[in-house]
Amino acid sequence: MLFKLLIVSAILALAAADPIEVLAEHTLTGSGFQTVPAVKFQSRTFTICVKFKLNNFNKLQSLVGDWTKYWQFLFRIQSNNQLGLTLRRNIDSEGSDPEQDLVSVTGGNVASTHDWQTACAAWDNQGGTAYLFLNNALVADKSTTYSSHTLQENNHATYQVGWKGDGRNELIDGQIGFVGFYGDIVVGISGGGALSVLAKHSFNPYTRGQTIPAVRFQSISASICVRFKLNNFNKMQTLVGDWTKYWQFLFRIHSNNQLGLTLRRNIDSQGSDPNQDMVGLTGGNVATTHNWQTACADWNNESGTAYLYLNGNKVAEKKTTYPNHTIQVNDHTTYQIGWKGDSNSEHIDGAISNIVVYRGIASDLYLN
């Protein structure tokens, strides 16, 4: 467990509260021997994400690679249905040098579904660690033993998508719909785009009056997802908030069992200014089940639009009327979990198991 926590901490340390750097994104509709323009990331942190759907399993199938001499990386599905990533060192290798691989890592299981899946391969250049994510979950990581973390340099103009370059084999038996390259550690792709993790917390068990450390996301697109279970309905119940002066956001369940989100503008308000709210919206119905549910509150800072998602389905959307999209800036160090901060009220009648704060629009994610 400690090892797992250290891995998560390392990923979070890389996720600064700035917009995710998009190096290139490609939507693909064809099949066969496709290519995309190469991206130069030999000496930096990066992530490659692929959306794919398989027809058959139990064989080698390439997702994306730069795999002709001089080989740089290969991201593929192994014959045991695990994801696999190989990164090559910046040395003059003919392809058979036992010291040529910077790192090689495998993990996960893609054979659980024939539906669309998302796989991401990330490289932390500073720490020298590779990560594999499958459907937004970490499935493997491995650190290099070499002190130089520069990948193989070459003058290749394209990458191979869905096939292995040096043998024109390992053709994917299925479809690839999207390939994205990012200058950050990205854990996955949702319906709203690339995601990185700003904070991740688990509660076992959840106890009344808990808090988590605050996250600085006032001027970026961000999402808060909460996994919760209710014992009773038809009353105000808070999921998570920064709701003491100066108030920033409140994500809760209303007495009519709808989700609700309030975001405050970055103005000097005492809590009674009629223009203090950036946006407020409600939607959905949490009273359909006593089982675990996932609610996500998303804020698109660029467009000034807020979204509410319940169990992967969009239930509300609203755009602010204000031109400045920065939400309230304060010096608070914690957020309230399951209770409303300024009045110590609206305690959740149930439990919260997980909270994840994402950089990006989480939209249709479902927390397990």
* pTM of the full structure: 0.79
Q: What is the pLDDT of residues 66-79, one digit of tens each?
A: 999 999 999 999 99
| C-beta of residue 188 within 8 angstroms of C-beta of residue 319 | no
Q: What is the pLDDT of residues 21-52, one digit of tens each?
A: 999 999 999 888 999 999 999 999 999 999 99
Average confidence score pLDDT of the chain: 92
Element (H, E) at 6: helix 2-14
Q: What is the pLDDT of residues 79-109, one digit of tens each?
A: 999 999 999 999 998 888 999 999 999 999 9
| C-beta of residue 107 within 8 angstroms of C-beta of residue 85 | no
Indicate whether 2 pLDDT > 80. no
Q: What is the pLDDT of residues 216-231, one digit of tens each?
A: 889 999 999 999 999 9
Q: Which two tokens stand for residue 89?
A: 């060192």
Sheet containing 101-107: order of strands: 34-37, 158-161, 61-66, 73-77, 83-88, 101-107
Sheet containing 46-54: order of strands: 22-27, 174-182, 46-54, 117-124, 129-134, 137-143
Q: What is the pLDDT of residues 165-213, one digit of tens each?
A: 999 999 999 999 999 999 999 999 887 789 999 999 999 889 999 999 9
Query: Whose CA is closest to 50, among 196, 197, 188?
Result: 188
Q: In angstroms, rounded to a whole number, what is the distance separating the alpha carbons of residues 259 and 315? A: 9
Q: Which two tokens stand for residue 304?
A: 């000034």
Beta-bridge mates of residue 282: 260
What local confidence, expressed as pLDDT, does residue 136 receive? 85
Cα 246 to its chain centre, rounded Å, is: 28
Q: What is the pLDDT of residues 308-349, one digit of tens each?
A: 999 989 999 999 999 999 999 999 999 999 999 999 999 999
Return the C-alpha torsion angle 303, 305, 311, 313, nearest 10.
Answer: -80
| C-beta of residue 69 within 8 angstroms of C-beta of residue 212 | no
| C-beta of residue 156 within 8 angstroms of C-beta of residue 166 | no
What local confidence, expressed as pLDDT, does residue 12 receive? 45
Q: What is the pLDDT of residues 107-121, one digit of tens each?
A: 999 998 889 999 999
Q: Which domains does the chain have, with CATH numbers?
A: 2-190 (2.60.120.200), 196-359 (2.60.120.200)
Indicate whether 6 pLDDT > 50. no
